[in-house]
Amino acid sequence: MSKIDSPRQSRRSFLAAGAGVAASVLAKPALAGGGNPANQPPNVPEWTKALGEGVAVRPYGKPSKFEKDVIRRDVEWLTASRESSVSFTPLHELEGIITPNGLCFERHHGGIAEIDPADHRLMIHGLVERPLILNLEELKRYPRVNRIHFMECAANSGMEWRGAQLNGCQFTHGMIHCVQYTGVSLRTLLEEAGVKTTGKWLLVEGADAAAMDRSLPIEKALDDCIIAYKMNGEALYPEQGYPMRLVVPGWQGNLWVKWLRRIKVGDQPWHTREETSKYTDLLPSGKARRFTWSMDAKSVITSPSPQAPIKHGKGFTIISGLAWSGNGKVKRVDVSLDGGRNWWPTRLDGPVLDKALTRFYYEFDWNGEPLLLQSRVQDETGYVQPSKAELRKIRGVNSIYHNNGIQTWHVQANGEVENVEVA
Amino acid sequence: MSKSLKFAAVALLACALCAPALAQQKADAKSGPRYHIGRAPTADEIRGWDIDVRPDGQGLPEGKGTVAQGEKLFMDNCSSCHGEFGEGNGRWPVLAGGKGSLTSDNPVKTVGSYWPYASTVFDYVRHAMPYGNAESFSVDEYYALVAYVLYLNDVVTDQNFELTNKNLATIKMPNEQGFVMDDRATSEKSFWQKDPCMKDCIAPVKITARAAVIDVTPEDGKDGKPRGVE
């Protein structure tokens, strides 16, 4: 990647390409949408005259070529190699609550395992009456459940602990996705195998080149975990764990082991590398919290945001955003236009589901003056999303994980948006 | 062992917060087979995959390796990423050092400064190392490698020290006591409120930090092609 522009310049050129400079008060309406006037009324464009491609020419559909910028992106300097790294969901381009399969953020520890399902096995053993080994076809014969859940990496927003760092909610909040999973309740399989009374913990392990393993308490395993083989109705994508993955609703993504190959029942936790050297939260005292599984309530305004500036100038303006909680349903979301001094209730639109993304809107008449946008969620347990300052007061700035602080976007008079902090 | 009971109790406590239903739910999965789908794995199948290790030593395979043997293996297979002394090259993980840094502005989390149990090193290395050629070493070689990593961290100090399945669980790591259970429900109790403030909640604010000043956001390249797209 060559750096040719400062972000300010390139955002400006992006704005210019998109809509004429947004700051210009009401450019001519004909130009407002950009494009080629020869294709616009009163003229009749080529696609209205000539036939297009027929059915099944595109046997697996893809988005329009004009949506080529709606893609996962990575931050090159974050990690040593792409095989143990992360890409981010373009939240600023999405609406509703479901993430398209091809845009779900990726986090791998040993690259994408490309597994022939004929060769994949799931083994359940340890403190069980009847150890079990299953292939994908056998897993599909067990009763199915369908559940919509968000999955958030515990390190989501981790780069922001020390202050505003990345200009885009794709990068500040994009380690999250929300899809409908189809699979088998983990409880069903544990009952089939018969967990012994001494069985209190599960080791869950993947089949990839990292064979990632984590400890999971039996209470959660028997509550709402799923072994999923479909996402949004189709087979899991390889980068999401094809042919099967663990779903641990409301808990940190690292537990959602992909390419799941083994479940071992034991009487103690394993303290694996992922739950000791990683995914523990270092506090100012030098002590670290361990087993911080659940993801606290969090929200973010997805547009306007640094990658989604306001292009239309002043007037009726829509604020769109996402809220979620690992501890239940979203109860309410409020937004602030003045950096947290005053708050306004938003409208939740679409389904409000347990441990799933929830979409909120706030519509208002923008007078063109600069704004300091924030969103704040309260979940059904009464938990209110804290400010970053409140979080830092308790946790310092070195805990890496679980940064669910309130995000501030600075909307400038020309519609450009920047990631800032306020006090 | 009361330790495991304590863990389970704390886990229950932690879960009481995440899902109130859990507390009432019978943690019982003994109902027995209903579907009769799948089969029992053979002892061989289990042996091939059963590679996890616990702090109490459960799961350690029979074997042994010395610091000196580990040093050679490490130089040939690991030092290109981790550095000859575990100092880490580029962004690859630092394995040693960082003593006393956990309360500093720049904590360095290494096997010696942070990892609570030696078993974790064995479990992880045997699962995932060498990077890109996982599970390719013999059990004895893994013992030797772990011995050398412990030596790099001054956890063992004798070049001739031999790590075995008998003594690994007896090794005490410097930061074993450096961890507490998730206590968000109590330490962050103030985040639960009845009615969040709506009006004049704080004094007017000013911008104190801006991402553009740092300028580390990825940009699309000159050809307009974003990175990471085929």
Q: Tell me how many residue pairs between chain A and chain B have CB atoms under 8 A apart.
A: 351
Instruction: Indicate the pLDDT class of residue A22, thresholds 50, 70 and 90.
Output: very low
pLDDT on residue B29: 65
Do A75 and B229 lie within an 8 Å CB cutoff? Answer: no
Give the integer Cα–Cα distance in Å for A310 and A314: 9
Mean pLDDT of all residues in A384-388: 98
pLDDT at B3 over 90: no
Locate B132 and state its tokens.
């890109």
Residue whose entry in the numeric block shows the structure tokens 């009952």: A191
Q: Is B215 part of the contact surface with chain A (CB cutoff 8 Å)?
A: yes
Give the integer Cα–Cα distance in Å for B188 and B182: 11
Q: Is B19 part of the contact surface with chain A (CB cutoff 8 Å)?
A: yes
Residue A44 C-alpha, separation from nearest chain B C-alpha, in angstroms: 30
Q: Is B57 part of the contact surface with chain A (CB cutoff 8 Å)?
A: no
Instruction: Please identify among residues 10-29 of chain A the ones whose CB lies closer than 8 Å to any CB of chain B.
Output: 10
pLDDT: which is higher, A311 or B30? A311
The per-residue pLDDT for range A298-343, each reduced to its tens digit, is: 999 999 999 999 999 999 999 999 999 999 999 999 999 999 999 9
Do B201 and A109 lie within an 8 Å CB cutoff? Answer: no
pLDDT on residue A121: 98
Give start and end residues of each alpha helix (H) in B41-180: 43-49, 67-77, 79-82, 118-128, 139-152
pLDDT at B227 over 50: no
Mean pLDDT of all residues in B178-186: 98
Which of B27, B92, B191 is nearest residue A222 as measured by Cβ atoms?
A: B27
pLDDT on residue A204: 98
Q: Is A109 part of the contact surface with chain B (CB cutoff 8 Å)?
A: yes
The per-residue pLDDT for range A333-368, each reduced to its tens digit, is: 999 999 999 999 999 999 999 999 999 999 999 999
Do A420 and B194 lie within an 8 Å CB cutoff? Answer: no
pLDDT at B19 over 80: no
In this prediction, what percent of chain B has a pLDDT beyond 70?
Answer: 81
Q: Is B197 part of the contact surface with chain A (CB cutoff 8 Å)?
A: yes
What is the 3-state secondary structure of A352-404?
Answer: CCCCCCEEEEEEEEECCCCEEEEEEEEECCCEECCCHHHHHHHHCCCCCCCCC
Task: Decide: B154 and B98 in contact? Cβ < 8 Å.
Answer: no
* Chain A CA closest to residue B177: A287
DSSP β-bridge partners for residue A134: A122
Task: Decide: A89 and A99 in contact? Cβ < 8 Å.
Answer: yes
Residue B173 C-alpha, separation from nearest chain A C-alpha, in angstroms: 13
- The DSSP H or E segment spanning B14 is helix B2-18
> For residue B115, what are the contacts with CB-CB under 8 A and spacing of at least 6?
A273, A276, A277, B121, B173, B175
Do B132 and A110 lie within an 8 Å CB cutoff? Answer: yes
Q: Is B99 part of the contact surface with chain A (CB cutoff 8 Å)?
A: no
The per-residue pLDDT for range B185-224, each reduced to its tens digit, is: 999 999 999 999 999 999 999 999 999 887 788 875 444 4
The per-residue pLDDT for range A167-198, each reduced to its tens digit, is: 999 999 999 999 999 999 999 999 999 999 99
Residue B176 C-alpha, separation from nearest chain A C-alpha, in angstroms: 10
| Average pLDDT of chain A to the nearest whole number | 93
Q: How many CA atoms lie within 13 A of A352 on its CB side?
A: 16
Cβ neighbours of A166 in B, within 8 Å:
211, 216-217
pLDDT on residue A2: 33
pLDDT at A407 over 80: yes
What phi, psi does B103 have (nearest 5°)?
A: -100, 0
